[in-house]
Structures are given as C-alpha cells and as structure tokens.
C-alpha cells in the first residue's frame, strides 16, 4: 500500500471565489483525513483572511471563460454580485460554508493559516487587519521551513 500523505501546505494566491475555495476545501479535506495542513495566503488570496474583505469575495463574470457568459452580459453592473449570490446559495445547500466560517472551521480542525509577508508589505496591511485565526505573517523562507517533509500545493 502506498504511503499516506502526512502534511500539505497549500498556497492560495487568487482572490476570486473560484480562486479561494479549492485551497480551503483541500485544507479542510486534509484535516478530515488526519493530514497536517498549512494555508499560506498571498497576493489577492489574502482577501480570504482579511477581516473586511473575506465577506466580499466574488466570482468574476468578465474575462472568466469558465462562467460561460458572454462579455456583454457579464459586464452588466451587479452581475458579479448576482452570480456570487447564486453560487453561495448553492454551496450553502451542499454544506460548504462562506469564507469566514470556513476559515474558522479549518482553524478549529487544527489547520494553520499564514499571511505572506511580501504581500502584507506591498498592500501595507497590519496584523490587526486579519482575522484572529491567522497564526503569523511569514516570509517565503519560513514557508519552506514549515512545509518541509510535506507536499506543497499551489492554487
């Protein structure tokens, strides 16, 4: 039998709904399997751990071929908000929580969340801007240290 995965370190680098959720689902899924999980938020992915922005994560309706929506429709004001609302409703029925609740759940399950120092400096964020579940603001070197011995997944 192949050896079981013991640790995963997942990077979330995008700030859209479809950019954030795969990483969250993988981190939670890892914890459910007893796999140690680290989440590293960088660039726009950091919105998912930012106190205010984490409630406003949306799906893009323009320039997003995956939506199968022509640009002239996708660019209508409010379309992104509508598409997001519809998606969130469907996800809730499937028991997939909204981002703030999901972050809390992953943390309660023992997952560790980190913010990328480079992005924090770039956007001039502070520790207080983040939700309480964030363990620390770390640089990429430290990320490699905590990922050692496990798998790294980039999303």
Q: Is 150 an interacting residue with respect to another protein (CB under 8 A)?
A: no
Q: Does 96 bind another protein (CB under 8 A)?
A: yes
Given 7, 16, 18, 25, the residue binding another protein (CB under 8 A): 25
Contacts of 151 by beta carbon, 8 Å cutoff, 6+ apart: 5, 7, 8, 9
| Strand 36-41 relative to strand 151-154, pairing | unpaired
Give me the 76-95 binding string for another protein, x by CB under 8 A, dash otherwise: ------------------xx
Give DSSP secondary structure letters for 31-60: HHTT-EEEEEE-GGGGGGGBTTGGG-----
> Rounded to the nearest whole angstrom, what is the least distance from the CB of residue 28 to another protein in the complex?
7
Q: Which of 33, 55, 144, 151 binds another protein (CB under 8 A)?
A: 33
Nearest-angstrom CA–CA distance, 25 and 31:
10
> What kind and span of H or E run contains 140?
helix 140-147
Compute how many residues bind another protein; rule: CB under 8 A.
16
Residues of this chain that bind another protein (CB under 8 A): 25, 28-29, 31-34, 94-97, 101, 105, 108-110
């Amino acid at each position: 039998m192949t050896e079981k995965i013991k640790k995963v370190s997942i990077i979330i680098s995008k700030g859209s709904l479809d950019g954030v959720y795969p990483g969250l689902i993988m981190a939670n899924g890892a914890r459910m399997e007893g796999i140690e999980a680290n989440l590293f938020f960088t660039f726009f992915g950091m919105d998912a751990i930012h106190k205010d922005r984490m409630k406003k994560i949306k799906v893009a309706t323009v320039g997003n071929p995956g939506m199968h929506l022509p640009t002239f429709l996708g660019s209508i004001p409010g379309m992104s908000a509508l598409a997001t609302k519809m998606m969130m409703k469907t996800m809730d029925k499937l028991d997939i929580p909204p981002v703030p609740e999901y972050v809390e759940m992953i943390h309660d399950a023992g997952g560790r969340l980190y913010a990328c120092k480079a992005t924090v400096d770039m956007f001039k964020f502070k520790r207080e801007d983040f939700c309480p579940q964030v363990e620390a603001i770390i640089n990429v070197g430290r990320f490699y240290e905590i990922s050692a011995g496990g798998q790294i997944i980039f999303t």
